Structure 1
């Protein structure tokens, strides 16, 4: 955090979701779904595109190697620059993923989805109360330029773009019972009415991206990247926002609680009760070790009746990484094997913040966190980012 499946399918079958590195191929008939925060941004707009265009980005090569080792069919990337023409995503696909990295087989994603995000979108307000306007913390979502920390879906399966939904423009105040921050001294609202009339809920965006499964069914990828519950003051404005960004996902899954949800095309309502889905993203919320008021944010999903959160993906590498920094991780309450991010470089404990949460009517047949121990294949490549790729293998039980 310091950095920033189409009807009821019946019985659930679950296998262990701890996997060694490199990732074994998914079982016959399964679809591999993954999320990966790749920390793929630079200090100014255009710099990343220029770097990728040269074809020699060491970070891009390492990220591509990890993806080539795990080989997801469906992949959400967090923290990749958004550009209206999709140039950054296309360059990464063509010049890195389609090229062998460190002896790995190339991988092709013929289908992609990306859309505008709120990071770096300016507002006229001094949202962080530092006495100035125009800073990255004064934008709709923290960012030094529009599109920083964006998102992209890479898919080997067809994307139903016509029915994709985005929720970039939904206002925070329109969430019923929103956890809006207050000044802890006066008790007055932190944000003015004028600010709340323009302040959006999503720090990046929330997406519902449907893909067509090999058998013809539809799987909804529910993608987001809530703000870290940190880098604020005693008002806990980012902690409150993180909680409510996650609540939007939970409400979207809940008939009777999603009537307020309106997408960017004006369509109202949530996900149909019989839809298959996987919640994906760096949700910036640990169920045990985040601390502060934000505790409980991720439980809105982990305890949701439509979500199967019974077997968290794990890795051996996460345990070893935790042990390597006992000064930072000795007081953790959650299992180190479930961690998905190594924040020791920021003098912060490792956390579980990246999620691939399937609906209960999917069959989960495998999964893991790509975090190989030192010396094992892929161990050097994971250092391209402080997050680790998280995946699950799912299928519908009609193939049983």
Structure 2
């Protein structure tokens, strides 16, 4: 499951988020857009609010994200260092808009794999070569620039006598750049990373069962971005796309070609408008019982909590 845009505990938005998650009653939830602090104070505060609404998620996991992490370089060329656009991932402070995993079941922390510090240049077939043959990143940037905007984690969760691996990430939006398409290229490579990981390019391949759950910031049909990345991911036969949908009659078309029932976020129109950017993709061995997207038509608190719907999938471990 996915949710974004969580603020401090005393913000009314947190109460909306907590109420929404409690009503959804997830066993495991991958949160996107939650600020990170070293002692996980923010995440644990949210867990307390969820518990107050009747659902316990006692196991909390998070790592420092790349957002706001200094590079020591002037990445945006404005003549100044230490600005949000000079960080590994855009952030006005270290840890802004990170990720967290909340679970009813224990996280096997000693087996977590964190790929967030992999350099972009070390990504196989990275899109760092421009059409004119020049390189996208200067050598000084290549030496420090991470692939992950926020992070790429593999988080094992122990469910009775089985281990389910949660693959989670939050890719860069493929906009807010220039004709070189820096963010679009990074978004592409952040998504394709998972295919390379499943191929064994970054060590041992993950053993099923696993679930890839994250914000790809890319719609396979509509909006900006290099569509080949998400289309390859959705077509990979090692995973299934349960195609979670909004309740019938909720979504409205915005001139796009994709099925609006699949859209997971409602940005102001006409551009970009509603898009499908968040995904929960179980490994092919798992049985999908049902799936959906919680939106403000079924739970008003979504509108207060986030413009992103909460994507959920019910699975049966075999």
Same fold (TM over 0.5): yes
- Is 1:366 paired with 2:290? yes
Number of aligned residue pairs: 318
Do the aligned partners of 1:116 and 1:168 also contact (CA within 8 Å) in 2? no
Distance 1:194 1:172 in 2: 13
Corresponding position of 1:307: 239
Larger RCO of the pair (alpha carbons < 8 Å, separation 6+): 1
Choose from 21, 24, 36 the match for 1:82: 36
Normalising by structure 2, report the TM-score.
Answer: 0.95
Choose from 3, 18, 23 the match for 1:69: 23
Corresponding position of 1:394: 315
List per-residue Cα deviations over 1:318-359 (Å, max 9, x = no partner).
x64434xxxxx11x1110000000102785211000111000
Choose from 274, 297, 316 the match for 2:229: 297
List per-residue Cα deviations over 1:125-168 (Å, max 9, x = no partner).
22223343222111111111000010000000111111111112
Shift of 1:387: 0.5
Distance 1:181 1:350 in 2: 32
Choose from 104, 110, 116 the match for 1:156: 104
Choose from 288, 300, 307 the match for 2:221: 288
Corresponding position of 1:27: none
Describe the SS at the equivalent of 1:296. Answer: helix
Alignment of 1:40-59 (within 5 A): 40-41=6-7, 48=8, 52=9, 56-59=10-13
Describe the SS at the equivalent of 1:124. Answer: coil
Alignment of 1:315-394 (within 5 A): 315-316=246-247, 320-323=250-253, 329-330=254-255, 332-344=256-268, 347-373=271-297, 376=298, 378-394=299-315
Describe the SS at the equivalent of 1:76. Answer: strand
Q: Which runs of 5+ in 1 are unaligned?
A: 1-33, 42-47, 101-105, 262-268, 324-328
Shift of 1:283: 1.0
List per-residue Cα deviations over 1:87-138 (Å, max 9, x = no partner).
11111111x11223xxxxx211111110011100111222223343222111
Alignment of 1:1-400 (within 5 A): 34-36=1-3, 38-41=4-7, 48=8, 52=9, 56-94=10-48, 96-100=49-53, 106-180=54-128, 182=130, 187-214=133-160, 216-255=161-200, 258=201, 261=202, 269-272=203-206, 274-292=207-225, 294-309=226-241, 311-316=242-247, 320-323=250-253, 329-330=254-255, 332-344=256-268, 347-373=271-297, 376=298, 378-397=299-318
Shift of 1:71: 0.8
Distance 2:303 2:282 in 1: 25
Distance 1:297 1:386 in 2: 24
Shift of 1:170: 0.6
List per-residue Cα deviations over 1:218-277 (Å, max 9, x = no partner).
11000100111111111110110011111111111124xx1xx2xxxxxxx0433x4210
Q: Which runs of 5+ in 2 are unaligned?
A: none
Do the aligned partners of 1:181 and 1:235 also contact (CA within 8 Å) in 2? no
Corresponding position of 1:3: none
Do the aligned partners of 1:279 and 1:357 also contact (CA within 8 Å) in 2? yes
**Higher share of residues assigned strand:** 2
Describe the SS at the equivalent of 1:63. Answer: helix
Distance 1:346 1:290 in 2: 11
Shift of 1:280: 0.6
CA distance change for structure 1 residues 64 and 346 in 2, over 3 Å: closer, same or farther? farther
Distance 1:281 1:181 in 2: 27
